[in-house]
Each structure stands twice: as C-alpha cells, then as structure tokens.
Structure 1
Amino acid sequence: MFSKLSVVCTSVLITLAAAMPGGTTPPVTTPTSNQCCNSVVSSTSSAASVVAALLGLDLTGLNVPIGLSCSPITVLGNNCGGTSVTCDAPDQEWGGLIAINCIPITA
C-alpha cells in the first residue's frame, strides 16, 4: 500500500513540476563551496527537475551534476555521512535543497 502511495505522490510532484512555468536558469560557475549532499544526480534526472521546479529553476539545457539536500562543510575532516562535493551552491538562494555543478572532493 505504501509503495502505491509513494508512486502516486511522486507522479503528482512530477506532473506539478512539469506544469509549472519555466523558471530562471541558474548560472553554472566554477565550484567553490564544499558541500555534504544526500545525493548527487544528473541535471537531467527527474529528481533534480522536481526540486528545481519547486524552487523556480529551469535546468533545461544544463548537463552538470546536481547535489540534493546539501549543507556546507565548514570543518575539514567533517564526517559528512553523504557525498562530499565542491559545488556552486549559494545557500541563501536555494536553502540547501539544491547545489549546481558538484564535483567530488578527493583527498
């Protein structure tokens, strides 16, 4: 029963995101912000599209990695528990829900 509910909810969110008018295209700049993201997906993925649409962003034409549910890494050696990446992630604009152009941090 719960799997059916999650499929319905996901379908509704995707439909709403697709029905929303196009938003602004976020700028893609050199990543400078160390972030801990729950996941990193392609900008063409449905998950990235749904979150971007809810934030009024248009990812059409972008082909960059997108971080979802990100928070800044402020201390080196911080135990991220997710995926450590460097992104173009202005927290003040998107509240940590999405980060653009995420590149894995390698030691």
Structure 2
Amino acid sequence: MFSKLAVVASVLITLAAAMPNGTPPPPVTPPTVPMCCKSVEDSTSGAVSAVAAAVGLDLTGISVPIGLSCSPITVIGDNCGSTSVTCDAPEAEWGGLIAINCLPITL
C-alpha cells in the first residue's frame, strides 16, 4: 500500500512541476523548418496537452497543428516514413517531442 502511495505522490509531484507556470504560450510564426513527425494533432488534443505539459509549454489560446516526435529533415528526398511537414523552428529544450504550426509539405 505504501509503495502505491509513493508512486502516486511521485507522479503528482512530477506533473505539478511540469505544469505551465503562467508563462505566455510560444509565439506562432510562419513555418520554415522541414520536419518528419510521427503524428500531427490539433493543439487542443489530449496527446498534445500531455506532451506540452511534459516540456513546460502552455498552449492555451493556440489553435494550430502540432507535430509530435519530430526530427529535422536534412537531406533532400529524405524518406520520412511518417508525416513530412514544415513547422516553426522548435526550441532545443523541447527535445524533438513537439513542434508548433506544422503544415504538410506539398511537392
């Protein structure tokens, strides 16, 4: 019983630390970076909310496509295998977990 309580307390503390602290949402700029993302979701989806909270982002008031698990496409003709998009330049501290304003690449 005690170990379950300790695990629950640890998860709650981690989530509280990851919750946005009243900082404004990141600015949305025109997408410029070609990215390969595992998925692209609406900024209001549960998956996006969970990842945003984990990296300390507050996406309140932002209504743009969000890329999850993204990496830059560095070679022309790179076979992404997932979703090829152009996004805002993601911040390094997001660790490739999330990218903002991701629009499909059309050739």
Same fold (TM over 0.5): yes
- Any unmatched runs of 5+ in structure 1? 1-11
What's the TM-score, normalizing by structure 1?
0.78
What does 1:45-84 correspond to in 2, within 5 Å?
45-84=45-84
Q: Is the 8 A contact 1:89 1:98 kept in 2?
A: no
| CA distance in structure 2 between the aligned counterparts of 1:103 and 1:40, rounded to whole angstroms | 9
Deviations 1:10-52 (A, max 9, x none): xx89xx47x9344531111111100000000000000000000
Point out the structure with max Rg over C-alpha: 2
Q: Is the 8 A contact 1:88 1:99 kept in 2?
A: yes
Change (3 A) 1:20 1:104: same
Q: Is the 8 A contact 1:69 1:97 kept in 2?
A: yes
Does the residue aligned with 1:53 lie in a helix, a strand or coil?
helix
Displaced runs of 4 or more, over 6 A: none
Change (3 A) 1:97 1:34: same
1:20 corresponds to 2:19: yes
- Any unmatched runs of 5+ in structure 2? 1-10
Task: State the identity %.
Answer: 75
Does the residue aligned with 1:38 lie in a helix, a strand or coil?
strand
Q: What is the RMSD computed on CA atoms of the aligned residues?
A: 2.0
Change (3 A) 1:31 1:79: same
How far residue 90 of structure 1 moved from its aligned partner, in angstroms, is 2.2
What does 1:6-17 correspond to in 2, within 5 Å?
16=15
How far residue 54 of structure 1 moved from its aligned partner, in angstroms, is 0.6
Change (3 A) 1:101 1:21: closer
Deviations 1:49-99 (A, max 9, x none): 000001110011100000000000001110001000000132523111000
What's the TM-score, normalizing by structure 2?
0.78
Q: Name the aligned partner's letter for residue 36 of structure 1.
A: C
Aligned length: 93
